[in-house]
Copies of this chain bind each other. A is one copy, B any other.
Amino acid sequence: MTRASSKDVARQAGVSIATVSHVINKTRFVSDETRQKVLDAIDALGYRPNAVARSLVTRSTRKIGLVIAEITNPFFTVAARGVEEEAINHQYNIVLCNTDEDPEREGESLKLLAAQQIDGLIIAPTGVRSPDLLALAESGVPIVQIDRSSPDLLAPLVGVNNEEGAYQAIRYLIGLGHRRIACLINFDVISTQRERLRGWERALREANLPVDDALIVRADPRFYGVLPGEAGALSLVGPSGQRQGMRSAYQLLQDLLKSPERPSAIFVASNQLTLGTLYAFRACGIRCPEDISLISFDDHDWAPLFNPPLTVVCQPTYQLGQIAARLLLQMINGEPAEAPPPLSVELVTRASCSAPPVIVS
């Protein structure tokens, strides 16, 4: 049995299809009497308006695309939550896509979303210049970038002050007495990673500490795929499946940890790498914070329960999502809207940092 249409309702109620439309949308006055007849007919037939047909004529789907890197990552998850809350309050649906930091997947998703005629897009772009993304923008679909930005795309960015966050983290470590502070960053096509690296560098320079390239560990796409020691690394992959960024960092980090000049502290610029770092510590028999201090970006509910409790740079993640959604909704409604200034972050000190170990020589 096929679902009833507005035509069926009209017939049943003995009115025109226009009237049906108008009682549903309250878009012009209808006498109490007729309205009631229509309402009854709707009830009797179990009629539900077809949003697809409506979209075709109104050119509005009430759907917004949300493209993030990893739905498994608490950062994106919490941000998505903020977006969802705001969207649902305004009767918007969310169409969700994962990119896995893969520009190709990003492109696929964007094409699908474009075809689906989303009313707007919130995206944490991979960072690789994306023709699909630019085309979408060109076609007039409102876009807001969240967390990070994409090259050549003129769309407001809702993010935090990454450089400042990194800077504060490093200052804190320096204050604790650290001199050799490593920086572990994710792919540097991601704008936040470049910014955080800059913060790291600025703090070091300011303190007249050497900015040594050997102190930078980059999780880089080149390391994707089969790695030496893969089998061993695989054991750190948890129930949620692949975590490639983590694996590559894992290898590189171990090299650094085994090097003669190993750092006394490490700043992890992406929460995607924190887990791998902790596992690498274990694999190398390194205690934290006794042997090495750890400070990472992004807080989450579990951070205080880790061993050791994690000192982190905390972002207002939920708000990021909320603000992005509000901004997008404004843009969709043609209201004046401008990108907010970068939100500020906060250093949350817990137990994963301490003074550097005393070197006994």
Contacts and interface: CB of A to CB of B under 8 A. Distances in A.
B98 A81 contact: yes
A53 B52 CA distance: 8
Given A63-B95, A78-B239, 11 more contacts: A1-B140, A56-B56, A78-B240, A84-B96, A88-B97, A88-B109, A95-B95, A96-B96, A238-B299, A240-B318, A305-B306
A210 interface: no
A48 B139 CA distance: 10
A105 to B, nearest CB: 8
A50 B117 contact: yes
A94 interface: yes
A112 B98 contact: no
A95 B97 contact: no
Interface residues of A, number: 67
A41 to B, nearest CB: 17
Given A71-B80, A116-B93, A307-B307, A301 B46 contact: no
A113 B97 contact: no
B278 A305 contact: yes
A302 interface: yes
Nearest to A1: B140
A194 interface: no
A354 to B, nearest CB: 16
Interface string A211-253: 0000000000000000000000000001111010000000000
B71 A61 contact: no
A278 to B, nearest CB: 5
Contact of A275 (B50, B301, B309): B301
A139 B115 CA distance: 26
Interface string A171-190: 00000000000000000000
B84 A52 contact: no
A191 interface: no
A94 B91 contact: no
B55 A115 contact: no
11 contacts: A46-B135, A46-B139, A50-B115, A51-B115, A88-B97, A88-B105, A88-B109, A96-B96, A275-B302, A275-B305, A302-B302
Contacts of A72: 74, 77-78, 81
A136 to B, nearest CB: 9
Nearest to A80: B71
Interface in A305-319: 305-309, 314-318
A56 to B, nearest CB: 5
Contacts of A241: 78, 81, 318
